[in-house]
Structure 1
Amino acid sequence: MNALLDRPIWSALATRQAHLGEGAGLARRYRAGILPLAAIGTDDPQALADLAALAQPGETLIFLMADPIVPPPGFEVLTAAPAVQMIATNVPVVAPDEAIVPLGESDAADMLALATLTKPGPFSLKSQTLGRFWGVREGKTLVAMAGERMKQPGFVELSGVCTHPDHRGKGYARRLSLHVAAQITEAGDRPYLHAYAVNSAAIGLYEAIGFTLRSPMHVAALRKPD
């Protein structure tokens, strides 16, 4: 399987999302205010030095890769956990779902509020610069959403899947995941996604809609000393 996905943050910022990032040498990150995701191209000392120079004092950056994460000297590991990367192998074709609507700039505040409540992963008011998002509203309330995050040649990550706690059990996560996967596929890319290894409910959902395990992953939040 394509090695681009072994270091998805790095490969996204080195290719299709280079315009959303910054960095030099063997370290790259999304611009401040978009996402606190960063990556190194290799694990050698020069890459770690490039990363140390890229982070701001006191700043926390999140890393996601197949190889074990090596912190630069002096960086504090705030959290570290195993994750999984799954890729679409047989996503079923579904009929259009009238309840699912595109989300735009006017929805950004509602999207951030829902993400802050449900914590599907790093999210900001500028997350829509990464890709398309869709959601479900009940009345005026945004109760569920999902969208696109990292992009590499031939691949797009399905991300930001979340449902308001008061509206769970209605199948919104499944319906939105299928919808976004279909949109990615129709655009000519292959959907993939990430989940924490302990999140068996999410993994089971994704398996049920045609995703299979591609690789175990490592995720960590590292803080640069002040």
Structure 2
Amino acid sequence: MVNRDTAALDDPVGGSLRGHHAHLARRLGQAATYLPDVATFATLPTEPKPDDWAELARLLGRGELADLFSHPATPPPDWEPVFSLEGRQMILPDDTGPAEPSASEADSGMADSGVVELGADDVPEMLDLVTRTRPGPFRPRTHELGTYLGVRDHGSLVAMAGERLRPPGWTEISAVCTAPEARGRGHAARLIGALVARITARGDHPFLHAAETNTGAIALYRRLGFTTRTPVTFRGFRIP
């Protein structure tokens, strides 16, 4: 396989909002963000000018959170820092096959494995699982960003993972989480494998993000073939 251009991953939020997720975007000038019930992430030009920051402030509103994801620009001095989290962006190299299980196993064994596709009717359970496991931001319409898969045990949702950001040529795997009582059974690896198979089948390439403190997740992603592309810092600010 030919190695893919990773430049789109430098601004995955902007690439998503300008492209595949344009129908889920709010815009004002050069500033853009997701609809409130979908995601908090916002984006600006690579080197924003004062007018760009002002447009983002008007777009989000006074006192609201500007979730800049991994955008490196420094906001105006009166924007109050809310969080700063060190992390990494990881990709699946082109010479790496789908994470376990293989594409054929994911397709043929979906029903037997208990992996199911999740939708609007599953949102209450998805939100409950996220509350218990805290994999990252997840809102009532986050599932509209892409395909979300889950594992049920005796009818209860015990694990899930899905597609989030969609910059050109790439799809982010996110919201990987397993209920405490269901851990150690390989659910996360199975869900990631099923998502990798779907992503690569449509011609996209998988990537993901992980907080540096989440060493267990990073170890799992490495085992499944993901490698670190670059360190990132996730940042959020309160608009005055």
Q: TM-score range by the shorter chain?
A: over 0.9
CA deviations 1:163-205 (Å, max 9, x no partner) are 0111111111111111111111111110100001222211111
| Residue 120 of structure 1: aligned partner | 135
Structure 2: state its 5+ residue gaps: none
The residue correspondences of 1:13-92 to structure 2 (distance < 5 A) are: 13-45=17-49, 46-65=51-70, 68-89=72-93, 90-92=96-98
CA deviations 1:145-164 (Å, max 9, x no partner) are 00101112211111110001
Which of 193, 218, 222 in structure 1 is aligned with 2:237? 222
Greater fraction strand = 1
For 1:162 and 1:77, the matched residues in 2 are separated by: 28
For 2:38 and 2:220, the matched residues in 1 are separated by: 28
For 2:73 and 2:190, the matched residues in 1 are separated by: 34
The residue correspondences of 1:100-115 to structure 2 (distance < 5 A) are: 100-115=115-130
Shift of 1:42: 2.1
For 2:192 and 2:80, the matched residues in 1 are separated by: 34
| Residue 173 of structure 1: aligned partner | 188
CA deviations 1:80-136 (Å, max 9, x no partner) are 011111111114325134321111221111011111211111111111210111000
TM-score normalised to the size of structure 2?
A: 0.88
CA 1:39–1:12 in 2, change beyond 3 Å: closer, same or farther?
Answer: same
Structure 1: state its 5+ residue gaps: none
Aligned-residue Cα RMSD (Å) equals 1.5
- Say which SS state the counterpart of residue 213 (structure 1) adopts: strand
Shift of 1:69: 4.2
The answer (yes or no) to whether the contact 2:48–2:73 under 8 Å persists in 1 is no
Count, aligned residues: 224
The answer (yes or no) to whether the contact 1:185–1:191 under 8 Å persists in 2 is yes
Letter in 2 for 1:86: M
For 1:69 and 1:43, the matched residues in 2 are separated by: 7
